[in-house]
Structure 1
Amino acid sequence: MAIYGYARVSTTDQNLEVQREALGAAGCETIREEKASGTSMQGRDELEILLQFLRKGDTLVVTRVDRLARSVGDLQTIAKELEMRGVALKATEQPVDTSTAAGKAFFGMLGVFAEFETNLRSERQMEGIAKAKANGVYKGRKPIIDNAEVHKLAAEGLGATEIAQRLNIGRTSVYRVLKSTVAAKSEAA
């Protein structure tokens, strides 16, 4: 019966040291760590490896449940999988211990709050973008497609697929550029 730790931060410029120390102090023999968003299970290879490795009687320790996942659905999926396999889940900074009834209840509540926090952050970001657009500050992402080059290659008789391959862009993008030019010409006429 081993104790395993999982540490996660969202971006590469964040540091895992504080989590690593807390998990070590909690008795974790092995700590898997990664720098990836917690909003999805996709692309979190270290978590996947750890979840496959855990056995009955083991304990998975995180510092906070939002390190494990930021959506209620993902947290419930992980918790259910751990429960079915007889693995306990504990958090060092929160009273979470899924081997107890109170710990399970608190775990569920924390999951709801983690998802709520993510949704609030997204709403604030959208509000900020809308305000910046209204003030003329936000222009969006800089275009990566050279419209003139698309038209030049089309004038040379190349099809959308070949243009897309040469410019390393999607074929739909080629059609969008060509369509917008046709629409602009018809509006000008």
Structure 2
Amino acid sequence: MSTIYGYARVSTTDQDLAIQQDVLRAAGCTTIRAEKASGTSTKGRTELRILLDFIRSGDTLVVTRIDRLARSIADLQSIVIELRQKGAALRCTEQPVDTTTSAGKAFLDMLGVFAEFETNLRRERQLEGIAAAKERGVYKGRKASIDTARVQALHAEGVGASEIARQLGIGRASVYRLIEAASA
């Protein structure tokens, strides 16, 4: 007996999964896994991994849109290959993607190209915005996560780099870098 699995994903914690989950239920999904994680990589997406590990021959994985599944061609192709090797299919509710048909496979590849293109455009716009903010002198970057003064104080007290790293929960390389920067 084949099963229809649903996968829902949003990028940020303030986004809502409910709409995707409702659409997936309406599409006949008996099991839906959902997570709030970036789509730029499959790393760290445990719910997707669980589905891919569990899906069997004859089963179908359903998403609302391809960008919910992957935002890079490499990740999308990897997922599709894994599904194909297991004898499972991929279907989208809002796009004519169905890997059981030739047209659906072709459309899937085109959507993957556009999803990756969109991600690259977003990254370029972000870098342009940062560069413009730096020119205006309003971009400060993220706040330092390491207390430099504390590292230097501990070092001055004779505490070793490994112990400083352990006490502050940072890497030894960071401790050495800050010590070296202070002595330069």
- Report TM bin, short chain: over 0.9
Q: Distance in 1 between matches of 2:162 and 2:181?
A: 18
Please name the residue that 1:186 is paired with: none
Residue 12 of structure 1 deviates from its aligned partner by 0.9
With the length of structure 1 as denominator, give the TM-score of the two structures: 0.93
With the length of structure 2 as denominator, give the TM-score of the two structures: 0.95
Residue 156 of structure 1 deviates from its aligned partner by 1.5
**Which stretch shows the higher mean deviation, 111-120 or 170-179?**
170-179
Number of residue equivalences: 183
Moved over 6 A (4+): none
Please name the residue that 1:175 is paired with: 176
2:51 aligned with 1:25, yes or no? Answer: no
Residue 166 of structure 1 deviates from its aligned partner by 1.7
Corresponding residue SS for 1:143: coil
Corresponding residue SS for 1:32: strand
**Which stretch shows the higher mean deviation, 70-79 or 156-165?**
156-165
Structure 1 residue runs of 5 or longer lacking an equivalent are 184-189
**Which stretch shows the higher mean deviation, 80-89 or 100-109?**
80-89
Indicate the structure (1 or 2) with the bigger Cα radius of gyration.
1
Residue 147 of structure 1 deviates from its aligned partner by 2.3
Corresponding residue SS for 1:122: helix
1:162 maps to amino acid:
E
Please report the RMSD computed on the Cα atoms of aligned residues, expressed in angstroms: 1.1
Structure 2 residue runs of 5 or longer lacking an equivalent are none
Q: Distance in 2 between matches of 1:153 and 1:131?
A: 38
Q: Distance in 2 between matches of 1:167 and 1:30?
A: 43
Alignment of 1:45-60 (within 5 A): 45-60=46-61
Q: Give the share of equivalent positions with the same residue, in percent.
A: 68
Residue 23 of structure 1 deviates from its aligned partner by 0.8
Residue 86 of structure 1 deviates from its aligned partner by 1.3
1:115 maps to amino acid:
E
Residue 52 of structure 1 deviates from its aligned partner by 1.4
Residue 106 of structure 1 deviates from its aligned partner by 0.4
1:70 maps to amino acid:
R
2:13 maps to amino acid:
T
Q: Deviations over 1:12-67 (max 9, x none)?
A: 11001111111111111111111111111111111111111111111111000111
Corresponding residue SS for 2:9: strand
Q: Distance in 2 between matches of 1:56 and 1:147?
A: 55
